[in-house]
Amino acid sequence: MEEVTVTGTRVVRDGFESPTPVTVLGQESLDEMGVTVVADAVNRLPMFSGSVTTRNASTTISGGSAGVNTLSLRGLGPNRTLTLLNGKRIVTSQYRNRDNNGGAVDTNEFPSGLIERVEVVTGGASAAYGSDALAGVVNFILDTDYTGFKGSVQGGATTHGDGENVMGTFTAGLPFADGRGHFLFNAEHAYQAAIPYNDRDWAQTSYAFISNPDYAPGNGQPRHLTVTDAGLSVATRGGLIVGCATAPGVACPLRGTQFLEGGTPASFQFGSLISGPVMVGGDWEQSRVNTDMSLALQLVRDTAFSHVRYDIGSSTTAYATVHWAHTEGENKQSAPNFNLGNVTILSGNPFIPAAVQAEMTAAGIPSFTLGTTNFDLPNFGARNDRTLKRYVAGIEGEVNFADSNWQWDAYYSKSQHDIISRSTNNEIVPRYRLAVDAVESGGQIVCRINADADPSNDDPACHPYNPMGMGVNSQLAVGYVVGTGWADTLLEQDVFAMSAAGEPFSSWAGPVSVAFGLEHRTEKLSGTASDLDEADSFLVANYHGTSGKYDVTEGFLETVVPLANGQPFADLLDLNASVRWTDYSTSGKVTTWKVGTSWSPVEDIRFRVTRSRDIRAPYLGELFDAGLFGAATPLDDPFSGTTHGVSSRTTGNPNLKPEEADTTGIGAVFTPSFLPGFAASVDYYSIDIEGAIATLGRDGYVARCFAGDQALCDFIDFAPDGSVEFVHVQPANVNSQSTSGVDVELSYTFPMSGIFSGLDGDLSLRALATFVDTLETQDSFGVVTDGAGVNADNMGTGAGFTLFGPDFRYLMSATYDSHPLRATLTMRGIGSGVYNNNLIECATNCPTSTAANPTINNNHVDSVTYFDLSFNYSMFDDSTEVFFVAENLLDEDPPLIAGGIFGPGNAQFYNGLGRMLRAGVRVSF
């Protein structure tokens, strides 16, 4: 029997099987998928939901997620899944929370050419590894002992003529000093091209979710609608007049005037339904905004990894690792620069067409308000350049103590992540206001500030910008009103750790295994931002320099005690128990623990049960974020009964406490001796989180304070008249969350000769499925929202503090392996879902809509199934392998999901890229 250390436990034991379920993706499985980003392979496992990838983080600007691949187990968010590299922590990839992504690790920076296997622990493991292992652990295990040379080259694209991707890897492993030492080096480069959103047929419509403007209690209509042909009612590409300064009660005669190519005025046809800023029908395509957006962003990644070990004695080895990675995630087309009905144009502005100016003069209209998506301005862009530098030095060995052998390890790890975030083509709001306020002076069109009598406010750089029309502005005007915001952030992590594992004594049933260790970790954040960002001058993003630091000291103890072995009632019975004592400099002491048992009444079947207390400590951004300023947008103030502008600032909260979760797992594993090659497992899980960290937003603070939550009232500044004046938004431990469900895994490998005589090779069948029963969030008032089966981010289910996701995911594969050919057909899918479990679907004769149970005309999201096909062929004495992969073989479109005006679909769960073909070659010698 081989001594193994299983992810999820720290003991080392012959043949020990942990009571916590572990799913393994081996190198062969990873090779069959032929992905350029290893997370794309891992995310196919059904227990993953809500991961952030290059396919669903493309519109993120201020959050800084563009370009990352982070993993989320159970739909609880990437920050509740601990991602390890060779069993060790790695510095996080970002500090600001976006998609529950703050504090998570970017797997793009891992050396994919060295990955031997990926172990996924689907259960709490904080007692073994500390914070973040609340939903589970994903451990990427590298083959640092590889000897020889190998490399690979591959490329691909979608059958839609885009999405080009290439990757090349090189690995060399060499022994030295007569085998006492070993040196390993790996380097790789990968490129993935952006994919335009508008290049897919299914994206040609605009499928939106709106409030029904014709709804009234008792009239039988649904309160909410999913509609097609949706566009803006308050803006067009070339500008739309939405109102003007007229006397009270006097209609604006200019309303509905839009501006086309060259500034030509024309009548705008409003839609049949208008709900807030969204309308249905009419000239919706003139105000459609998703035509120039990206479906997937551009990603460039480079990694270099080296590892050296040297035996300095018969039982002691020193080792060191240097790991460097650089990624560039860029979305050049995120969204237009919106000005939704808030641009004021004064009469006499020389850009106003003559016919419109004549009508203003005749009616005595001093100004009008305009809405525009600024066709002449390039779309927002987001770019994040990340550079990882990581160094590990350690020493490990074996020692005999008290007549028992102990394995020990001590190491120091230093990691730093330099993140340069840019918001490109970002409207500079103060400059935009100056530039659109144009006048004629000396026969020239100039900015008003440069023509008035006050020279102190002159801006020689100001070039007038014309918001009325398309193709009417110079590059000088565009260059003045847009700019690039930036932030340079450094995340640092230092880890000192030591551990030991051995079998100090035996019970009546066998040796008792013990593991213990100590760890001290420091996490630090520092950063700067541009002056324009610090002044909140941009339309979006507005980064702020942030700094903060915390440290944590931990100690753990784990044991495996055999209780029975080879008995009539128990072929094997083990007790596994562990405890971790943790002391945070910010939040104090906390204890996590785990108790589990594995019982095999006979050799063919094993039952496993675990119960654990796990934590997720607040990360640097939640604690120390300097904040994002929220402009004074209108607030329906329940304290004063008026609507008025209220500003806010979202900052970190240094008083946050760790989230605590109680996790239960009950399962069975069946490996029948009468059916060699077959294995099956069924596992029930339940995770209950208390003190879940949430950020409610300005309106949420006001509403809950008004409803009686005094703790949140402390974050609101009130004016002398009792109205809301300012809101300090911070994350807080305010929610409870829980999830439960069942994981199923089946596998069977058998020789084909047993079915077809004379046919060589083996057939391997594998099926995995996850059934989610509950995915609940309970707020501070006790209101419970169940997001299980919610396959769309609507109706408050994606508010950042409410969980949601599919209730059924599956993956099935069949692999035929007859050397030198290996072929795999995979079927994976997501079950049908809803927009919200509390919605009542009806088209007519609807009951009265309530806050708890709103009505809607459509509350259904279709299921989807994808097929993948791969071929691998070995030649030249197995030194060369060529491969071909067809992902989404049938070019299946994603379900159309009503969202905002940005278009249909939900990239968080579905593949919108279409059929992807890849081919390549791997060589080794």
Write the burial class of residue 385 (CB in 10 Å: 0-12 exposed, 13-18 middle, 19+ buried). Answer: middle
Is the Cα torsion angle 503, 504, 509, 515 positive or negative in sign?
Answer: negative
Question: Residue 39: is its pLDDT beyond 80?
Answer: yes
Residues 57, 60, 64, 68, Cα dihedral to 10°? 10
Separation of alpha carbons 905 and 898, rounded Å: 7
Question: Residue 515: is its pLDDT beyond 50?
Answer: yes
pLDDT in tens, 397-423: 999 988 889 999 999 999 999 999 998
Cite the beta strand spans of 842-905 per DSSP E: 855-856, 864-875, 880-887
Separation of alpha carbons 445 and 472, rounded Å: 13
Separation of alpha carbons 79 and 618, rounded Å: 9
Residue 815: enclosing H or E segment and its boundaries? strand 808-818
Give the pLDDT band of residue 45 (cuts 50, 70, 90): very high
pLDDT in tens, 292-345: 677 888 899 999 999 999 999 889 999 999 999 999 988 876 677 888 888 999
Question: Residue 521: is its pLDDT beyond 90?
Answer: yes
pLDDT in tens, 77-131: 899 999 999 999 999 988 776 556 678 899 999 999 999 999 999 988 999 999 9
User: Which residues lie closer than 8 Å to 706 by C-beta, 6 or more apart?
Assistant: 638, 639
What is the structure's pLDDT at 797?
Answer: 41
What is the structure's pLDDT at 119?
Answer: 93
Query: In 99-114, which positions are buried (b, 16+ CB within 10 angstroms) versus exposed (e)?
Result: bbbbbbbbbbbbbbbb
**Helix, coil or strand: residue 284:** helix
Which of the residue ranges 408-417, 644-653, 705-714 would you say has the lowest mean pLDDT? 644-653
Instruction: Compute the average pLDDT of residues 341-355.
Output: 95
Question: Residue 2: is its pLDDT beyond 50?
Answer: no
What is the structure's pLDDT at 127?
Answer: 94
Give the pLDDT band of residue 53 (cuts 50, 70, 90): confident
Separation of alpha carbons 293 and 905, rounded Å: 13
What is the structure's pLDDT at 56?
Answer: 61
pLDDT in tens, 453-493: 888 889 999 999 999 999 999 999 999 999 999 999 999 99
* SS3 track for 48-111: ECCCECCCCCCCCCCCCCCCCCECCECCCCHHHEEEEECCECCCCCCCCCCCCCCCCCCHHHCC
User: Which residues lie closer than 8 Å to 645 by C-beta, 6 or more apart?
Assistant: 632, 633, 634, 635
What is the structure's pLDDT at 630?
Answer: 64
Cβ proximity of 320 and 307 under 8 Å: yes
Cβ proximity of 871 and 168 under 8 Å: no
Separation of alpha carbons 587 and 808, rounded Å: 37
Which of the residue ranges 462-471, 640-649, 678-687, 749-758 would you say has the lowest mean pLDDT? 640-649
Which of the residue ranges 50-64, 634-648, 762-776, 911-925 would you say has the lowest mean pLDDT? 50-64
Write the burial class of residue 164 (CB in 10 Å: 0-12 exposed, 13-18 middle, 19+ buried). Answer: middle
Identify which of 628-637, 710-719, 791-800 has the greatest average pLDDT: 710-719
What is the structure's pLDDT at 577?
Answer: 96
Task: Name the percent of the chain in helix, strand, coil, to the closest 5.
Answer: 10, 50, 40
Q: Which long-range contacts (CB under 8 A, 24 or more apart) does 347-350 make?
A: 348/439, 349/436, 349/437, 349/438, 349/439, 350/438, 350/439, 350/440, 350/445
Separation of alpha carbons 508 and 511, rounded Å: 8
Q: Report DSSP letters for 669-710, one per residue.
A: EE--TTSTTEEEEEEEEEEEEEEEEE---HHHHHHHHHTT-H
Instruction: Compute the average pLDDT of residues 823-827.
Output: 97
Question: Residue 190: is its pLDDT beyond 50?
Answer: yes
Amino acid symbol at 73 = L
Amino acid symbol at 442 = G
What is the structure's pLDDT at 4?
Answer: 45
Instruction: Compute the average pLDDT of residues 782-806.
Output: 74
Q: Look at residues 496, 143, 178 and name the one whose alpha carbon lies nearest to residue 305.
A: 143
Q: Report DSSP letters for 417-443, one per residue.
A: EEEEEEEEEEEBHHHHHHHHSEEEETT
Instruction: Look at 54 and 774; give whichever has higher pLDDT.
Output: 774
What is the structure's pLDDT at 799?
Answer: 42
Question: Residue 6: is its pLDDT beyond 60?
Answer: no
Q: Look at residues 436, 429, 408 and name the one whose alpha carbon lies nearest to residue 349.
A: 436
pLDDT in tens, 64-92: 667 788 999 999 989 999 999 999 999 99
Question: Residue 347: is its pLDDT beyond 90?
Answer: yes
Unique residue bearing structure tokens 């207390």: 613
Cβ proximity of 754 and 795 under 8 Å: no
pLDDT in tens, 766-778: 999 999 999 999 8
Question: Residue 5: is its pLDDT beyond 60?
Answer: no
Instruction: Look at 7 and 683; give whichever has higher pLDDT.
Output: 683
Give the pLDDT band of residue 873 (cuts 50, 70, 90): very high
Separation of alpha carbons 817 and 830, rounded Å: 28
Calculate what percentage of the chain has a pLDDT beyond 70. Answer: 93
Token output for 896: 């159309």
* 820 prior amide bond cis, ω within 30: yes
Question: Residue 14: is its pLDDT beyond 60?
Answer: no
Give the pLDDT band of residue 1 (cuts 50, 70, 90): very low
Cβ proximity of 55 and 104 under 8 Å: no
Separation of alpha carbons 406 and 410, rounded Å: 13
User: What rounded mean pLDDT belongs to the chain?
Assistant: 90
Question: Residue 3: is its pLDDT beyond 50?
Answer: no
Question: Residue 568: is its pLDDT beyond 80?
Answer: yes
Token output for 751: 């020789």
pLDDT in tens, 717-753: 999 999 999 998 888 887 899 999 999 999 999 999 8
Longest dimension (CA), the chain: 104
* SS3 track for 497-511: EEEEEEEEEEECCEE
What is the structure's pLDDT at 767?
Answer: 96
What is the structure's pLDDT at 291?
Answer: 66
Give the pLDDT band of residue 798 (cuts 50, 70, 90): very low
Separation of alpha carbons 80 and 123, rounded Å: 11
Domains of the chain are 15-196+297-331+387-422+487-924 (2.40.170.20)
